[in-house]
Structure 1
Amino acid sequence: MEGEQRQLRVKTFQSAEPLLRLNPSAGHLAAITPFRSVECVHGGRRVTLPAVIDRSLPNDALSMSSKAAEQLRLTEYTWQMPAGVSRGRIQFGPLIGILSNPRWDKDAKTLRNTSQTQSLKRLVEAGCEHGAVCFVFNILSVNLRKGTVSGYVLHEGKWYRRELPLPDVIYDQLHSRKLERDKDVQGIREALSMRYGEKLFNDGFFDKWQVYDWLKDDLTVRDHLPKTQRHSTFSSAVAFVNAHAVSFLKPLHGSLGLGIARFVKHRDGSLTYELKQKTSSILRGKGSSAKEVLSAFRTRLKNRPYIWQEGVPLATYQQRPADFRILMQRDQTGDWKRTKMFARVAKSGDFTSNLSGGGDAMPVDDALAECLAKADQRTRAKNQIRRLSRQVVDALEKNSGRTFGELGIDLGLDTSGKVWIIEVNSKPRKAPTTDKGRQDLVDLSFERPMRYAIYLATKTAK
């Protein structure tokens, strides 16, 4: 955004004519002279308004007619909002839209309290704290022809539904894969992706095979990938399971560890398996051969796409599987930063470490102290985790041709101290509070993507 950034309190006065009133200081910055008009920008909305100097206005105020406010869709913003004033131009905002799946409660006249509502509230608050106007919206509420979107703004702790211009930047926080598969959603998403480019960041979900394909082409990370293949035929699946002591079957588009199966081969050729059906439900079984066991998975394998992944002999914490989650995010400089790094330990009897399934989070040093006996091993492993997490984001962006604002990277550590890439998540879930971790880092994890969104908005306005 060009010019001086200033907080202006927007007021309206009743008039059927569009008109803008500025105090002398703002008028000077906007180069206002008699009969001169000013271009006013609010998100995707652009309106040229006649402007006059009003010496009765304080320096933090801007007044516009109800007609002008209506044209800019600023009528509802009668509280503090930022505006950048430059020669012949005033830009309100930046306007940041957070794409999610908000649901309106007609009776309570506010958003329904879902598992994501508090996180969305914290994101909006973080954006506003750093000078943006933020709202959340459902992709089906976008009207591309009119250039508008029905969104939800937060004011004094309460949500309001308002008709808004399309935002300057979109931060994709839509966590519903079911909604992603909707044809109407796919059509609007494609149009938004074309329209916004890098200004729509973390667009969509990752495909596990696609991520593997991007990473294996990079020499710096290739050696840290377990052997992986996309499921194709029953016979190739039997061959893969027979070739490895431990194998994992993972849904191509799965999340939260759901739908993952682990197969363990024994010396006599028999197999045992575990299938994560729900966050708290594991189905167990066994068979005399891979062919016999996998026969029970034939229908499942036909109904959705999967990948097969070699099971790495990971180090454990108190006999429980452990891995490491690194949250990488861009900040107001546009550069990647490591925001959080912690260990995740599966609950007793589980083979996945997802926190949603009952896993525990703990400091990396605490987990490493039990996983590796020697101090120098632990130091090397920690350095390797830090280095590899940065190499992963660089490799993904280079080989995908896409730009991301944040990535959740899951790394595993084997018994020799080598670090392995388990998974990369384009929608890392963030809770606004923590019982065991550092609250300042939790706050930072909400602040950084919003500051990156503001960076994108101001960068593209220059």
Structure 2
Amino acid sequence: MKALLAIKCKEDLLEDQIVLPEMLNEYQIDSIAFGTYQIHCVATYNSGHHLWISQKLFDQLLLPYEGKIHVFVHEKTLHLGPLIGIFTAGFTSSILRPIGERSVFFSKLLATERKVGAYMFLFGANHINWEEGTMVGYLFTESGWCKKTLPFPHVVYDRLPNRRTERHRLLSSTRERIQKEYAIPWFNPGFFDKWDIHQKLRIEERIVPYLPETINTVSIQTIEEYLAKHPFVYLKPKNGSLGFGVYKIIYNREDELYYVRYKNEHFVNKLLRFSNLEPLLSHVFKNKELSSYLVQQGIPLLKKDDSFIDFRVHTNKNEKGEWQVSALAAKLSGKGSITTHANSGGIIKTIPEIFEEEQEQKTVIEKLNVASLLISNAIDTHLPGFIGEIGFDFGIDKDNKVWLFEANSKPGRSIFYHPKLRNEDILTRKLSIEYAVYLTEKTIKHPEGVFT
């Protein structure tokens, strides 16, 4: 049983008393739980729609504040939640900006909790008291950021900022311990590996047509073979993000020269010319490992105003644990750039801003929706763990065929800078919390089965 109730603390109740709406009388509740804390209680009932809790129980459960929250009933226990812990790194000593530049994003995310009915807090590996079974969490309230001691959460939402941080021994051991010792679901764990995703998606026949030809062996021979079949190729880092380390190689058959476009370490777009591939690769991989790259077929994309277009699609799981498309936008490449990323001068546009005809807009949206939901379910099937959101980069070629360029487990949010995508921005945050509600209910009812 699940319901949304307003929780209120009442001082004139007996120390172990709670007052529930009459509709819950049949469940014979004798204990109340919040996160990993569970306490005996005496339940009484009235005709209202509030949950009244004694001051002592409110304090013992470490409830952060009054407000609307979901309640779940299982085996005579009333569970309040979800209590969602957002695991990240990079904390500062400032309570005004506890997570540095990312504090603004997290404040928006946590401010969404009351629209759904949840408690959310930020925490890092050093905020855990393993002996007491508590965490010092950062909450965002109407008065700004504050710190409060809380029980271990129902679920953990992984928002580690990058791959290097994720590999840190303390952070990885914290994740393992929370999952193994406390059986707490940890969703969106880990960054995707491009080659691993490509290999797993190739298993699905319906998805193969969306995949550019790709190989994880970078050599003069493989590049030559790809250039013989395709107008250009990309060299991409298997674990790259934001377009860093991507190289576009073009062979001009008339002058028999190879051209390479890329962004250097100073974020300047470069175009270099070579008479053959050997010096090109020597230049490109001067301080890089060939084994960390893959070769991918280049796709001649649709263009607008001399800029090529690709598309970002966000998918999220909802309160039923089902995938839905939550945001869709177009991205135009910056001048001289091989990617559409904002840090390379890329520009965000809505679909109507790219396609003038209404029917064309509908066709593009439908194609991208079908592709993204199909691939979301495939990734979810073939990868371990709980995946709650994915960001896709798609292209559409001159024959209106859709291609998958990349899937991101921790998608960037640059598309939401566009003023007409504000509702999508809110929806993606809201759905992340709704998925946590879904995981919480599953964990409460099937504490062992949720992992199978």
Q: Same fold by TM (over 0.5)?
A: yes
Equivalence for 1:6: 5
Please tell me the residue identity of whatever aligns with 1:217: I
Aligned-residue offset at 1:132:
0.7
Structure 1 residues 165-180: aligned runs within 5 Å? 165-180=151-166
Contact 2:30 2:42 in 1 (8 A): yes
Q: How far apart in 1 are the matches of 2:350 and 2:20?
A: 55
Aligned-residue offset at 1:140:
4.5
Aligned: 1:104 with 2:92: yes
Q: How far apart in 2 are the matches of 1:296 and 1:442?
A: 41
Equivalence for 1:413: 396
SS at match of 2:281: helix
Residues matched between the structures, number: 442
CA pair 69-84 structure 1, distance change in 2 beyond 3 A: same
Contact 1:44 1:167 in 2 (8 A): yes
Structure 1 residues 47-446: aligned runs within 5 Å? 48-49=39-40, 51=42, 60-65=51-56, 71-74=60-63, 77-80=64-67, 82=69, 84=71, 86=73, 88-101=76-89, 103-106=91-94, 109-112=95-98, 114-143=100-129, 146-194=132-180, 199-231=185-217, 236=222, 240=226, 244-267=230-253, 268-277=255-264, 280-302=267-289, 305-368=292-355, 380-430=363-413, 434-446=417-429
Please tell me the residue identity of whatever aligns with 1:8: I
SS at match of 1:105: coil
Q: How far apart in 1 are the matches of 2:336 and 2:34?
A: 54
Alpha-carbon displacement from aligned partner over 1:320-342 (angstroms, at most 9, x marks no partner): 12101111112222222111111
Q: How far apart in 1 are the matches of 2:361 and 2:423?
A: 25
Contact 1:102 1:136 in 2 (8 A): no
Aligned-residue offset at 1:375:
8.6
Aligned-residue offset at 1:194:
4.6
Q: How far apart in 2 are the matches of 1:135 and 1:161?
A: 9
Alpha-carbon displacement from aligned partner over 1:46-81 (angstroms, at most 9, x marks no partner): 2x33548699x995532132xx5564333xx24335
CA pair 436-205 structure 1, distance change in 2 beyond 3 A: same
Alpha-carbon displacement from aligned partner over 1:266-311 (angstroms, at most 9, x marks no partner): 1143211122235842233221011121111333332871121111
Contact 1:381 1:418 in 2 (8 A): no
SS at match of 2:205: coil
TM-score (norm 1): 0.84
Moved more, 262-271 or 194-203: 194-203
Alpha-carbon displacement from aligned partner over 1:119-176 (angstroms, at most 9, x marks no partner): 2112212122211111112244345564333221122141112222221112222222
Equivalence for 2:448: none
Contact 1:97 1:137 in 2 (8 A): yes
CA pair 189-232 structure 1, distance change in 2 beyond 3 A: farther
Q: How far apart in 2 are the matches of 1:428 and 1:104?
A: 24
Please tell me the residue identity of whatever aligns with 1:360: I
SS at match of 1:342: strand
SS at match of 2:288: helix
Equivalence for 1:41: 33
Equivalence for 2:449: none
CA pair 21-422 structure 1, distance change in 2 beyond 3 A: same
Q: How far apart in 1 are the matches of 2:98 and 2:33?
A: 31
Q: How far apart in 1 are the matches of 2:183 and 2:217?
A: 32
Contact 2:189 2:385 in 1 (8 A): no
Of all paired residues, the percent bearing the same amino acid is 23
Aligned-residue offset at 1:441:
2.3
Contact 1:26 1:59 in 2 (8 A): no
Moved more, 325-334 or 94-103: 94-103
Please tell me the residue identity of whatever aligns with 1:72: L
Contact 1:432 1:443 in 2 (8 A): no
SS at match of 2:264: strand
Contact 1:362 1:436 in 2 (8 A): no
CA pair 4-387 structure 1, distance change in 2 beyond 3 A: closer
Q: How far apart in 2 are the matches of 1:395 and 1:85?
A: 31
> How large is the Cα RMSD of the aligned pairs?
3.4
Q: How far apart in 1 are the matches of 2:289 and 2:3?
A: 59
CA pair 152-291 structure 1, distance change in 2 beyond 3 A: same
SS at match of 2:287: helix
Q: Structure 2: 5+ residue runs without aligned partners?
A: 446-452
Please tell me the residue identity of whatever aligns with 1:264: I
SS at match of 1:437: helix
Moved more, 424-433 or 146-155: 424-433
Q: Structure 1: 5+ residue runs without aligned partners?
A: none
Q: How far apart in 1 are the matches of 2:372 and 2:2?
A: 38
Q: How far apart in 2 are the matches of 1:421 and 1:24?
A: 51
Aligned-residue offset at 1:82:
3.0
CA pair 447-354 structure 1, distance change in 2 beyond 3 A: same
CA pair 212-9 structure 1, distance change in 2 beyond 3 A: same
Q: How far apart in 2 are the matches of 1:168 and 1:119?
A: 22
Moved more, 86-95 or 314-323: 86-95
Moved more, 306-315 or 133-142: 133-142
Aligned-residue offset at 1:367:
2.4
Q: How far apart in 1 are the matches of 2:113 and 2:407?
A: 26
CA pair 52-213 structure 1, distance change in 2 beyond 3 A: closer
Contact 1:124 1:154 in 2 (8 A): yes
Equivalence for 2:450: none
Alpha-carbon displacement from aligned partner over 1:91-128 (angstroms, at most 9, x marks no partner): 2322011223352334xx33346342222112212122
Contact 1:8 1:83 in 2 (8 A): no
Contact 2:340 2:347 in 1 (8 A): yes
